[in-house]
Structure 1
Amino acid sequence: MSESTDDHVAHKLYARMHEHGESTTEAAEALGFAAADVARARERLLRLRLFNPQTETTVDSAVALARGLESHHRALDQLLEQHVMTASLVKDYLSVAARRGDDVRVEFYERDRLAALHQRIDECAAMVKHEVAAMHPPAKWTREGLEAALARSRGNLGRGVRIRSIHAQSMVNDPLIREFFQVWLAAGLEVRVTPVVPTRMLIYDRQVAIVQSEPGDPAGGAVLIRGALLVRSLTALFETLWTSASEPQDVPRAASGDALTGQQTAVLRLLATGAKDEAIARTLGVSTRTVTRIVGELTALLGAGSRFQAGARAARLGWLD
């Protein structure tokens, strides 16, 4: 059964339980749903935090959305805190370890040594044997730069190297990056996107890492770190982001929400509270038909199969912050 059909069953099941105070079994019997369909719908509602398995009751959609946003923000806070700690290690402590002769070597590339940095990146790419892991925050890319990186990646892929890259979700709006997403995937690269990428980072064989020294300044230089112990920690940061990131095709183009009209934004915020079309229409002073049309536009824009899925995706994209 398709995802859209599963979501339709989940929507109907949730609405019936919520409106009539019925159990899962009672609602499924009233709706005539098969047991297998109900099981998938139950799992979907659990993932959306719309179902309490202990009490076998529904959770108000506004409460579920608030909890989801709180959880998402906590995860981002932890991620950013970890990045600050990593930056502190790089800035204040790694040189001490290097002077002691520990298994850590650090090379600093200031903004006036970017040519040397690019040469070092080329050397690392040529020597990698097993895996490249990359993180890319929002940046201004040129076609020439992307073509050069693609040629390097194709050479590595031909040698059996696994290449994974995480990009800032806002880059989905860039036509050039959207084009290259398709090219990268067709070439064999693994690509995902996530709302927050704290800094640019390249990791080679979990032994060497190149980290942008100034997160807000791509031209501000970088730090090259050699040493399995510390690079393993940086790899763990990458893996955490990779696990929670999305496939590019699952993210709408308007990833920043900037393309929404004021009326669409208002409807989306009211949807997040669990308001029905009639209540939204009264609040905004428009017809119910207008609200229904706007809800349809939002679900299409978000690539969602229902208003519930639209709310969940909008929250994940940060449109409701």
Structure 2
Amino acid sequence: MTNARLGEALRVLGLDDTATRVYLTLLERAPAPLDTVAAAAGVSGAELATAYGVLVEAGLASAAEEGGETVAPVPPAAGLEVLARHRAAEVEESRIAVSGAFESFRRQRLAAYNDHLVEVVTGEAIGPRIRQAWASAREQIRQFESPPYFPLAAATHDALATLARGVTQRVVYSRESLEHPGRLEEVIEPCVKAGEQARVLPSVPVKLVIIDEAYALVSLSIKEADVHNTMLVVQPCGLLSALMALFELSWQNALPFRGRATLPGGLPPADRRLLWLLAAGAGDDVIARELGISRRTLFRRLQVLMARLGAANRFQMALQAQRSGWL
């Protein structure tokens, strides 16, 4: 190894210029008195003592006292190996320290960031936050709806106003929503008539409203929404992505609901509504109440529909109604 390359290696390993110059001179002149090496290297006094002390501490030279004592370097292969190991140990300690500092910094920043990923809203603050969410929608609202309902008088008005602004609304209703007194006639059907895309499942996993892809309002469970009166606001994160995927999967499996619109084939709106309530899983008492008829009248109309569709039971009637474009 040339002196130039060796000097560069020593600097990389942490020796300063003076100590490097003394060591290179020591390799050329040793064994020799220390003052001879110092004179050749162009150093003396305190500067020499400091530089030679660095070499001894690094394992590159044997210890020597000031004066004319003969000194010699540690063989370069052994000396540089020791120095390299020392330097590697120092670098590893530095890496661990930096890694620990960064991890601490990351935890602090992530903790601060996580404070904003999920916001807990309770009590009287829920109503205004729900209305703010509907007003902030720009492209699409996706919703799971099921009782119990938060007492928000303007909820239907807000939904209709959002539809009027051209915002797409897709709602998956639970069967309980259709059975809740007055909900179908006063809330669901007016929204469907205004352009809401509605579907029905026997049940929904959570009460959920997704605003565009910006954030979601969600309760931990339907029962807890009633007991604890608590709502979560979920900002963009893995949880929000999971909620959106859950909605899309449920939407695909849900039965479309079209309200009171006229069906092809001349089916009266009342019979169409009967079929949809039946297909959604509503019980006979609920269907009779929603249609404003008695159970006896309901059974008679069901018999007429089954005969018209050539069905022997309600299940066959639902299949034939779907094939005929009535559902």
TM-score range, shorter chain: 0.3 to 0.5
Structure (1 or 2) with the larger CA radius of gyration: 2
| TM-score normalised over the length of structure 1 | 0.47
Greater relative contact order structure (CA < 8 Å, 6+ sep):
1
